């Protein structure tokens, strides 16, 4: 079985991350520096004020991330930083009021790897804008852009500035040829030719369709190593969870009335 659970290479964060929040090969390698101005939906999920996962802003008080980033985490220990290209500084920091982790999440296989995070206040910042979510699964061979502050090499250090990499989606069958039955309908895959990938610290961050209006079909989830030939990055299939996301946000909105 693949070794899915890999601790973050940033040793200084080790004590800050709770035991049940695994840092996977959730995995930017072979990319380039970018700016939050070009990816206003990107946000940093912080644990006791230190970045440990990515997330995306999908509504004024809602962020989307991977369940392996929230599993076992204390709500009071989490915050979301928006509107900054620099890790750990700038922008606006918002407290978290609740975590809606999918009840079917499997920490071993990483199936149903998705969580919704409710923010204590609206993400009102000039460099923040929600991303739209797909309602149909993205097709193969579509260029997608993955952003984050993750390591720029397998086992390396986190990037201080926001990075991005463009890869192409592949078929589920192609992905299963690398990972077998671990790949389910709740997952989509991209890359796999080596040299370009997401990496540790990018987990929970957005995969967006490249060019045009920002639409998010995936969440950085897991993979074997970073940018290894033959091992694509695996992402949570956002389209599969579209109704689940809508239902939770709708229920919370009704409760506020």
Which three-class secondary structure state does DSSP give residue 121?
A: coil
Is 243 known to be catalytic? no
**Cα Rg of the chain (Å, integer):** 16
Query: Which residue in the list 85, 203, 214, 221 is annotated as catalytic?
Result: 203
For residues 21 and 34, what is the distance between their CA atoms, to the nearest angstrom? 27
Is 49 known to be catalytic? no
For residues 198 and 234, what is the distance between their CA atoms, to the nearest angstrom? 10
Is 51 known to be catalytic? no
For residues 40 and 236, what is the distance between their CA atoms, to the nearest angstrom? 21
Query: Which residue in the list 51, 68, 100, 102 is annotated as catalytic?
Result: 68
How far is CA 144 from each of CA 10, 46, 189, 233, 242, rounded to the nearest angstrom? 27, 25, 11, 12, 19
Query: Which residue in the list 25, 113, 197, 202 is annotated as catalytic?
Result: 113
Catalytic residues: 68, 113, 203
């Amino acid at each position: 079985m693949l070794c899915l659970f890999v601790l973050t290479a940033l040793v200084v964060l080790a004590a800050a991350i709770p035991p049940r929040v695994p840092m996977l090969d959730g995995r930017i390698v072979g990319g380039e520096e970018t700016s939050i101005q070009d990816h206003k939906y990107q946000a940093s999920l912080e644990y006791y004020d230190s970045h440990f996962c990515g997330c995306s802003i999908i509504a004024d008080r809602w962020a989307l991330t991977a369940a392996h980033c929230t599993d076992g985490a204390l709500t009071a220990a989490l915050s979301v930083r928006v509107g900054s290209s620099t890790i750990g500084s700038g922008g606006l920091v918002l407290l978290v009021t609740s975590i809606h982790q999918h009840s079917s999440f499997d920490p071993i296989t990483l199936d149903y790897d998705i969580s919704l995070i409710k923010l204590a206040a609206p993400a009102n910042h000039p460099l923040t804008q929600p991303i739209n979510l797909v309602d149909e699964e993205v097709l193969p061979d579509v260029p997608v852009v993955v952003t984050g502050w993750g390591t720029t090499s397998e086992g390396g250090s986190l990037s201080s500035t926001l990075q991005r990499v463009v890869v192409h989606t592949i078929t589920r069958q192609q992905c299963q040829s690398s990972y077998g039955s671990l790949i389910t309908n709740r997952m989509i895959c991209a890359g796999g030719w080596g040299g370009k990938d997401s990496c540790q610290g990018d987990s929970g961050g957005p995969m967006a369709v490249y060019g045009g209006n920002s639409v998010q079909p995936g969440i950085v989830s897991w993979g074997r190593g970073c940018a290894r030939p033959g091992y694509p990055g695996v992402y949570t299939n956002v389209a599969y969870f579209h109704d689940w996301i809508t239902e939770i946000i709708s229920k919370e909105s009704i409760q506020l009335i």
